[in-house]
Structure 1
Amino acid sequence: MSMGGNNFGDEYMCVYETDQVFAGVDELVDWAIARGRENGYVLVRRRSKTNATGVVIKVWLKCDRGGVYHGEPKARRTGSKKTGCEFELIGRYERSCGGWKLRVVNNEHNHLAAEQLGGHPYAMRLNENETRLVEQLSNQNMLPRDILAAVKDQNPENVSNLRNIYNARRKLCIGQNTGETPIQVLFSTLQRNNFIYQTQDDASTDVVEQIFFIHQTSYNIWRAFPHVLLIDTTYKTNKYNMPFVQIVGVTSTHKTFSVAHAFISKEREENFVWVLQNLKDTLQQCMEPRVIVTDRELALINACRRIFPSAAQLLCRWHIFENISKHCRPSFSQSDWQKFGYMWSVVIESATPDIYEYNYSRLHEWLWTSHQRVIGYLQVTWLQKYKEMFVSAWIDKNRNFGQRTTNRVESQHSLLKKSLHATNNTLDNIVGHVIQIVKSQAEAINESFERSKIFRMAHHNDDQFELLKGNISHVALDLLVGEKAKIQMLIASNSSCGCHLFTSCGLPCACRLLKNAKVTLDEVDLFWRKLDLNPSLVNEDEGADIDAQLDRVIQHIKLQPNPVKKSMMSKVFSAVFPFKSMKKEPVVQTNTRGRPSLKTQQQKQEPARHSSFTKPKKTSRMNQRSLTIVNCSVLSRILQRQECTIFPGFLNHKTGFRIQLMGYRNQHLTTR
């Protein structure tokens, strides 16, 4: 025997000796490999022999440490597990018995049996069933470490490690996209999953610069609920560093749904115009948005005004206060900051312009003694130019249905990134995750519709709302119940309701409910009455004659010179057969926004998604923590001074309270 003649196989002399007849070659090989693993050895199928028809008739099994390493030393440190082990088994098909039999040629190993098989690459390979499980769990966005745990739960004898899972996932991905460019893979994914999509390319290089896409399910929900748009951009989602625009909407049951998505090259007005124009084109005969909420991204705001000029434009209150916190929080003590937060909320919740002036004058008076820089910042940055876009006195004049922040789209950013698990994803991978999110949203929306139709909530048992039950959403009924609860408080304080619920949400306000007459469906905005996904049409003529349009296009192409005809046909061919598209993948963007990778940089810069942020000036108390929640004890002390009365919030029951001044109705307020 080679390698010094050491014999490590005597104690296993009879392990492979068997008279068993195997039905096939795979059964024989599996049996031999299993016997070897039981005894600490890894056997591999070294070679096989076939007959004239290509059928395997003989197979050789050897130790995985057999053979001699012939490699040469290189810069990279390498090694070999080969020891020249001459262990050998032969499996042969025997006609006499009509099956396969195993013969032991050499039962001796020149090395010790392994105590653990974890270091043997062959033993660590995934079998067919395990590979299939990896594929299934990968499609469900499960993390590799969780996939490995599932594989080991299925097969306790598995010795694979995390690297095997990563390699298997990569092979599966390569196998699915064989011969396709990244753009071909993306277009194929979009077309296969019924997306409506548009691209913008560089005419000279055919490099894709922007991609807009909307899922068919999102398209249907969007056309049913085009009333509200929430738009925001996020970063660090793809390997090209392209900003990722997410547009979401809200249903009558206050469920969030993804409207559309876009990868853009730059955050400029023209880029946003291109995205919004593509979005508008999907509406066709449907009504346009009535309100759009964004952060203070001027390019996006201007684009919204150009494409949807009739929509009310609101700024996200949450982003505004976060920005104020970054600039002003260090100059306040903790108790003063709590008081400021409360007084600021009173200012932005002011019900009328006069009440706003009064509330702001009180805030100004309090800040004037020690925080004059804060006054200047609030005035110059927010109130002078933008108060009509976030103060209740102005925004509640339009139907906003209680949507005053972009928190819903921020939540979609978070949901997508948790699903992606990385920042360098391919575009088709992101699309795949979007599909799963959209499907989940659709299920939740349909469920909420049915609950509003069939469930009668106990707190809705009011004869005044009898005609509405089952015909409008539970959210609308909750708002009406809250509004009715205000009546006694308004009477006691000799105040008017201001009709804010009617002007902002399209629901009967307290002065209407005071009559105690039954509320009819005609008094409720169509937004709340809609509990299905039928398009919200402005007229019943849905769509144009597509066949007639197609005929006109064909005739137009036929009349063109051959060079022009060829150019047009290449574009049509690319759209119809995306897997043959010759477009090139986007270039990697530089200097894009996003959270810095280094902790020290993170401390110096603003949060990545808050595009309304500007760098703050240095002030004292920089080490104090930011506290953005008004302390209840401070609130109670202020209320004890009888400076104001808190009425239950009715525009959005999740955002807290509406605050109005007591007895303002007949008072003359002195403005600052």
Structure 2
Amino acid sequence: MRAGRNPAQHMLASATEAGYVQYREVNNETAQLTHIFMAHSEAIRMYRSYKFVVGNDSTYNTNTYNFPLVEMIGMTPTNQNFDISYAIMEGESKEDYVWMLEKLRTLLPNGVSPNVIVTDRELSLMDVIPLVFPCSRNILFIWHVNRAIEKRVNDTCKNIRDIGKFFTSICWYYVVYATTDDQLREALTAMNEKWPAMVEYIENIWLIYGEKFLRLYTNTSTHYGNTSTSRVEAAHAVLKEWLHSAHILGDTVWTRFHALMEGQHVERKKALEDSRSKGKKDKYGRLFNLLKEKVSMYALGLMSAEFDRGTKVGDRLDERCDHVMRTTHGLPCACDPHRLTTRGRRVHLDSVDVFWRTLVYDDH
């Protein structure tokens, strides 16, 4: 029962009763609520253990005030999303995002920050991330980049069916996934020669932020594979499904979000327990024996796939291995298991990043 409270007051009171950490901002002139930030106590515990990567996305038309709902999303070592927090704000200015990020920062111990914060090309947000999290790197979701470029190509070449997909899957693909300076120069030269109509747009809108999404640059960050939007898009789709009715009241937003959080936490705990108790069968026998039930099953799968890749490379693997898995995921790269196998050794626990080894979350 609301007991005479308006929807916003009821939402805040209900969240307080449920143990949420919350912050709010009120317009001094109108006395209207303009900003709300909330985080479930269980989500905070997860975030403190899995603070390495944070994703962001926004939903619109979810409440009667038409304020954007901004969702912050983390990743567990079992390759599952979890919602860290959400904020309802009256706008998306730099000041709004500073307010939100500062509240997010309070959930972590002093001096601790994510390795990577992954966003779309929201310039106001991109501009203030270094102010609040100076040690975190901002990476752009490549899916958002590709979608914008695909639309631009389609609009420019209206009479050619699926031309946007053709461009992003071939010409633009070689630009994004170049791993050396020479490869990038060659890909850009080919694009400039074959698609001159797109050069100015891509250079002025996207390539000025190339260090945030081109693999040549993002391969230097430990992002655990979070360079595409699929993770956040999937998590966000779930939230949108729960908030399916446009213009619902603020307390209804909270009720649905809270139910989603409660179910999510049960599922995440179950997956972590499975990794601690079931291990993972693999075809490489004793190679990963020291890691079973101490490293997530998902990480073991990544290592197995990387070892498969190494066996396909063949001779001179030490020279040909790009070591990207070690840098981006904190896992042994293709040449490591190969070298160990030839010497009859096993992969040791200390060669795996602590993220993949944290199968119980708690405050730190």
Q: Which amino acid aligns with 2:258?
A: I
Per-residue deviation, residues 377-397 of structure 1 (Å, max 9, x unmatched): 2222212x1111111111010
- Matched residue, 1:309: 134
Q: Judging changes above 3 Å, is the alpha-carbon distance between structure 1 residues 211 and 336 closer, same or farther for their aligned structure 2 residues?
A: closer
1:452-482 deviations in Å (ceiling 9; x for gaps): 1222433354322111111111111111111
Segments of 4+ moved more than 6 angstroms: none
What is residue 262 of structure 2 aligned with on the other side? 439
**Counterpart residue type for residue 3 of structure 2:** T
TM-score, length of structure 1 as denominator length:
0.51
> Unaligned stretches of 5+ in structure 1?
1-175, 538-672
Mapping of 1:177-192 within 5 angstroms?
A: 177-192=2-17
CA contact (8 A) 1:351 1:498 kept: no
Which SS does the other structure have where 1:296 is aligned?
A: coil
Q: Which has the higher contact order (CA 8 A, sep 6+)?
A: 2
> How far 1:334 moved relative to its partner?
4.1
Q: Number of aligned pairs?
A: 356
Task: Give the corresponding residue for 1:390.
Answer: 213
Q: State the partner residue of 2:276.
A: 453
Correspondence for 1:343: 171
- Say whether 1:235 aligns with 2:60: yes
| SS at structure 2 position matched to 1:488 | helix
Alignment partners' CA distance in 1, 2:109 and 2:273: 28
223-232 vs 411-420, greater mean Cα deviation: 411-420
Indicate yes or no: 2:296 matched with 1:468. Answer: no
- Deviation of residue 426 (structure 1)? 1.1
Which residue of the partner structure matches residue 195 of structure 1? 20
Corresponding position: 1:275 with 2:103:
no
For residues 248 and 311 of structure 1, the distance between their equivalents in structure 2, rounded to whole angstroms, comes to 15
Determine which of 220, 223, 231 is the counterpart of 1:400.
223
Structure-2 residue corresponding to 1:249: 74
Q: How many angstroms apart in 2 are the aligned matches of 1:222 and 1:508?
A: 25
Matched residue SS, 2:170: helix
Residues 190 and 460 (structure 1 numbering): CA distance in 2 closer, same or farther, change over 3 Å? farther
Q: Is the 8 A contact 1:232 1:406 kept in 2?
A: no
Partner of 1:151: none
Are 2:327 and 1:503 aligned? Answer: yes
Q: Pick from 352, 355, 360: which aligns with 2:183? A: 355
| In 2: Cα distance, 1:184 partner to 1:489 partner | 61
Q: 1:308, CA displacement in angstroms?
A: 0.8
- Report the TM-score when normalising by structure 2: 0.92
Aligned partners of 1:490 and 1:362: how far apart in 2?
28
2:242, 2:214 → 1: CA distance?
36
Higher helix share: 2
Per-residue deviation, 1:411: 2.8
Q: CA deviation at 1:417?
A: 2.8
- Provide closer, same or farther for how the CA distance between residues 522 and 510 of structure 1 changes in structure 2, counting only shifts above 3 A: same
CA distance in 2, matches of 1:194, 1:431: 13
CA separation in 2, counterparts of 1:407 and 1:273? Answer: 26
CA gap 1:335/1:436 in 2 versus in 1, 3 angstroms: closer
Give RMSD over aligned pairs: 1.9
Q: Which runs of 5+ in 2 are unaligned?
A: none
Hey, what's the Cα distance between the residues in 2 that align with 1:328 and 1:338? Answer: 9
How far residue 188 of structure 1 moved from its aligned partner, in angstroms, is 1.2
Q: Is the Cα contact below 8 Å between 2:44 and 2:107 reproduced in 1?
A: yes
SS in 1 for 2:282: helix
1:260 corresponding residue in structure 2:
85
1:13-92 equivalence runs, <5 A: none
Whether the 8 Å contact between 1:238 and 1:425 is mirrored in structure 2 is: yes
The answer for the alignment partner of 1:534 in structure 2 is: 362
User: What percent of counterpart residues are identical?
Assistant: 28
| Equivalent residue number for residue 146 of structure 2 | 321
Residues 509 and 355 of structure 1: is their aligned pair in 2 closer, same or farther, counting only changes over 3 Å? same
1: CA distance, partners of 2:271 / 2:277: 10
Query: In terms of mean alpha carbon deviation, does 486-495 or 290-299 score higher?
Result: 486-495
The alignment partner of 2:55 has SS state of strand
Residue 151 of structure 2 aligns to a residue in which SS? helix
The aligned counterpart of 2:198 is 374
Aligned to 2:337: 513
CA distance in 1, matches of 2:310, 2:206: 34
AA partner of residue 527 (structure 1): F
- Quickly say closer, same or farther: Cα 1:207–1:250, change in 2 above 3 A: same
Question: Matches of 1:490 and 1:337 in 2, distance apart?
Answer: 33
Counterpart position of 1:16 = none
Tell me if the contact between 2:117 and 2:139 (Cα under 8 Å) persists in the aligned partners.
Answer: yes
Q: Distance in 2 between matches of 1:322 and 1:309?
A: 29
